Structure 1
Amino acid sequence: MSCQLPADCLNEIFEYLDDRKTLYSCLLVNRFVCKISIRILWRNIWNIRYTVTNKHRLRVISTILSTLIACLPNESKELLFKNGIFISTPTSKPPLFNYPTFCKVLSIKELYLIINGALEKITYTKDKNYLVINEVIKMFITQIFSLKKLSFHDGIYQNKISFTYFSGAIDCLKDLSELHCCSSLPSEFFYQLSKICHNLHSLTIFMEYYNYFPNELKELISLQNNLKILKLSAIHGCDWTVIIPALSKNSNTLTKLHLYSAYNDTLPISFIALFSNLQEIKILSDSTTFGKIQFKDFEKLQHVTFPKLQYLNISHNCTKLEYIMKFLENNGKQLKKFYINGNDHVLNLSIVKFCPNLKNLSIVIKYDELDTLRTIFNSCQYLESIKIWCGERFLGEKEVLETITKYSPKNFGELKIYNRSDSELLPEDLESFFISWKNRPSFTLIINKKYNYISLEANKENMKIIKKYINLGIIKKFETKDYKNKFFKNI
């Protein structure tokens, strides 16, 4: 007699499967297990495009689109048919599941890219593509019971999207917890959201090209009851000053604040002092400003204490280094993570002095300052991970590995290398390091490189060493990826 686990038990198990391949294989077990897997796989379909090679990209997005079209209500299908839009579906029969109801994330930009990519070889006008986009959005808005994340932050198509759908989206948007948007969206969009969404936990706002900030967006911000994460990105002269008063209601709830500026060196950041419960601060700026200090009023922040701050990420050109060091003196003791992308010997020594409890560190050290790395390891005894620039004017990969072997604290186990030149690591260098590491915690090695640099995996003998020590369990994870200068992940 067969025994079937209850649905809630299986769902709990599958939630811990961080492996899409395993979930895909579960689709073939039976209808019961298939439905649980489908719910998880369709929760966020928008990142599927990036999990495949370019060769299969078109097939993947075409499959997604045909499935969405199959799920459209009959009136939408008839509308597309009347307008001469014919998109094939996987089968003439109704879909096995109503897939859109499983979605918890809706990205208008990704939907736009999927539909335009899938219909690229079909001679439809852009207006017909937008008709498809609007009908699919309407289906999502009317059929998703509880959307968790809405992303709508690219203005190239905003005037082609109908916002009337949002007026009746109470069930869909009442539990929305994360919103990504651009300030240039029509005020009607923000007006509709402000009537429904009062419990956002995370808000990301992109301000681009012109300084337009509708009152309806400020109203939406001021109506939030428990905003915890705020990310503001201002480029091309845009300014976030106008929304600072709207944030006052969340002065005690906000725990994460990310600020990014490009081409603007007059933006204020001293308002950060309003948020005494911050646990994470990112202050980043574009490096194309040719040495200009981006945030001049950081001087006012250097004396402010954030008793709960654990994570600080700051661009070296944001302010004067003396202000950063004073800030570390006041806030460094409780820091667990600190990232800075500039090189200064005095600043590096201040990290050693003021931040003894760090677990993660990203730092730049010049080629002739290896002693600084030794001092960091000796002083930061809780350090578990470090990211270091290697090559050109910076430390060499071999000497970094040797220093880690001799001086890293007992819980250390992750090295991230940002290659600034071609890798010079030889197989014997890797072999020597991993032999010395066999009695330590499993090691993670992540290589970040610019596209024009050759990293260590280009050497086949290096990869044989890597695979050998993965099989022996000495290497926990090895990964190489192209370095991308992005402010926000998953934009």
Structure 2
Amino acid sequence: MTCSKIFSGDLPELTYKIINYFQNDYSTLHSCILVNRLWCRLAIPLLWENPFSIGTGNYNFIKIYLNNLEDDLKTKLNEYKIINNSLPSNLLFNYLKFLKFLNINTFILYVEKWFEVAIKKNTIARPNNLTDICVPLFKIFIENEINLYTLEINVSGYRNFDLTCFDKILELILKNTNFILNISNLNLYVSDYFGNIGAKNLLSQIINLHKNLKKILICYCNLPIYQSLLISKDSNCSNSLNKIIFYCVNFITYLDKIFEQLNALESVHIIYCSFLNNSFIQQIINLTKPLKLKSLFMNDEKSESNTDESLLLLLQKSGCYLENIEFGNSCKLELEQQIFESVINYCKNIKFLRFDSQIAFQISSLTENIKHNLNYLSINDDPSSVKIRKNSTLLQDLGRALPSKLEYLSLNLFIKVNDFMIFLEDSQDIFINKLIIIQRGWDDIKNII
């Protein structure tokens, strides 16, 4: 009875919750459109929140946006035979209002792909460059006052996009400051190898305009463009920014000032950053306020080799906040064991853990201390010569050491059949939603899974 009411539209609130669950399942959302008017009305906004991320190869949705062009621009594109007047003047939805996530580079790329398909069908005159289409189209977003949650800007040297078009869009944003003011999440991808100084200057101005920024993602950067946003006492986001993610970042200076200046900071995530060395750690240890370090990923060649026991002090100081941690072959074995012990002693809220099996003999002690929160566990093979013996010890103990429920377990190991059977026997009462087994050895374990 309830099911029939959902499909007939008699329970709109419950139907909304169900459809919202399929937010990133685009094929299911397309099916929902066909059920009835209510389901269509609920599914369409989700499909149009981030249409530039849907990798179907169909770029025709751009014509819906182009339908909002002013008549003179629409006439100009009609001359190129790349749009037509087949769309009705009054569409069923205001699709522009649904847009919540926008990556400028992906936007340019999708328009370029759509343009390439359109001109293949028509051999007559075409616009001089991509800017003739992208800039008017982006202006539509601004003039219709779309309310973005997330804006992503990728300023890097390895992306193949029209730099003139990119600069023009940044200039357009600066001329219409209301567009940027209330965006909650600003994701910046900046490469040191990108030589477009003009784009970097424009980006710095955009950063300074932001007033209510809540989250920032900084990638591949050791440039000072972030400093005016994060360090200045007059920074617009000093009382709003609550989450910073550093990914593969190289800079070292002023991080202590950044953390001291941000009054609303609730989480810091450090992922494969080369500034994770003694100098940085000492700055953190000397902070007058606690650093709410939620993620620390070190198992990568980007982590500097001179990270020593000061890392243990960092875990002691911020370990109570840590939820996601990865470590392993970037550290010496002795230090790795000490890190493991520090995680046991100071990090009680771990939800995600990834490490190498060379320290797996402590797995029972670890999971006993963090099993109430642990939800994702990944164990990788130890590249040392005694890997098989250590892997055997790990598998024989692992089944008894795991919490009663795991969302994700990944084992990338040298596995012997007898050890694996012990693991399966001991873990048969454990709920594991996703189990990934990568056999690095020679024993055939497929028949016993």
> What's the TM-score bracket when you normalise by the shorter of the two chains?
0.7 to 0.9
Q: List per-residue Cα deviations over 1:285-325 (Å, max 9, x = no partner).
A: 567xxxx9767343221243755726132436256232221
TM-score (structure 2 length as normaliser):
0.74
Maintained 8 Å contact 1:207/1:234: yes
**Alignment identity in percent?**
19
Candidates 227, 235, 243, aligned match of 2:213: 227
Query: Over aligned residue pairs, what C-alpha RMSD do you find?
Result: 4.2
The aligned runs of 1:149-168 (5 Å cut-off) are 149-154=150-155, 156-160=161-165
| Cross-structure match for 2:366 | 376
CA distance in 2, matches of 1:147, 1:340: 36
Equivalences, count = 412
Match of 1:255 among 227, 232, 242: 242
30-39 vs 426-435, which moves further: 426-435
Residues 254 and 357 (structure 1), Cα distance of their counterparts in 2 relative to 1, 3 Å cut: same
Amino acid at match of 2:189: F
Residue 436 and residue 112 in structure 1: after superposition, are their counterparts in 2 closer, same or farther (change >3 A)?
same
User: Aligned equivalents of 2:224 and 2:342: distance in 1?
Assistant: 34
CA contact (8 A) 1:365 1:388 kept: yes
Q: Which has the higher contact order (CA 8 A, sep 6+)?
A: 2
For 2:10 and 2:356, how far apart are their aligned partners in 1? 52
Aligned residue among 311, 320, 325 for 2:307: 320
Match of residue 281 from structure 2: 298
Please report how far the alpha carbon of residue 109 of structure 1 lies from its aligned counterpart in structure 2 after TM superposition.
1.7
Q: 1:36 to 1:428 in 2, by over 3 A?
A: farther
Task: Report how far residue 405 of structure 1 moved.
Answer: 0.2
The question of 1:206 aligning with 2:201 is answered: no
- 3-state SS of 2:116 partner: coil
Q: What are the Cα deviations for residues 198-252 of structure 1, in whole angstroms up to 9, with x where unaligned? A: 444333333333577548845854752x433233335376664444433665445
Q: Which residues of 2 match residues 41-190 of structure 1 at below 5 A?
A: 41-49=47-55, 57-58=56-57, 60-61=58-59, 63-69=60-66, 72=69, 74-82=71-79, 84-87=80-83, 96-120=92-116, 122=120, 127-143=128-144, 145-154=146-155, 156-160=161-165, 185-186=170-171, 189-190=173-174
Q: Is the 8 A contact 1:401 1:433 kept in 2?
A: yes
* Residue 244 to residue 108, structure 1, CA distance change in 2 (3 Å): closer
Q: Take 2:272 and 2:218, find their aligned partners in 1: how far apart are those partners?
A: 12
SS of the residue corresponding to residue 22 of structure 2 reads: coil
SS of the aligned residue for 1:5 comes to coil
**In structure 2, do the counterparts of structure 1 residues 261 and 385 end up closer, same or farther at CA, with 3 Å as the change threshold?**
closer
1:323-334 paired onto structure 2 within 5 Å: 323-334=310-321
What is the alpha-carbon distance in structure 1 between the residues aligned to residue 73 and residue 225 of structure 2?
41
Matched with 1:192 is 176
Which deviates more, 381-390 or 209-218?
209-218
Structure 2 gaps, min length 5 = none
Please report how far the alpha carbon of residue 424 of structure 1 lies from its aligned counterpart in structure 2 after TM superposition.
5.4
Q: String of CA shifts for 1:30-64, please: whole Å, max 9, x gaps.
A: 33432321122112112211xxxxxxx43x23x33
Question: CA 1:255/1:32 → structure 2, altered by over 3 Å: closer, same or farther?
Answer: closer
Q: In the TM superposition, what is the alpha-carbon distance from 1:328 to its structure 2 partner?
A: 1.1
What do the CA deviations read for 1:140-168 (whole angstroms, capped 9, x no partner)? 3333543333334347435225858xxxx
* 1:326 Cα deviation from its structure 2 partner: 0.4
Aligned to 1:408: 402
Residues 74-102 of structure 1 deviation map (CA, whole Å, 9 limit, x = unaligned): 443312123x242478x565655443333
Change (3 A) 1:237 1:261: farther
Give the conservation status (yes or no) of the 8 Å contact 2:151–2:186.
no
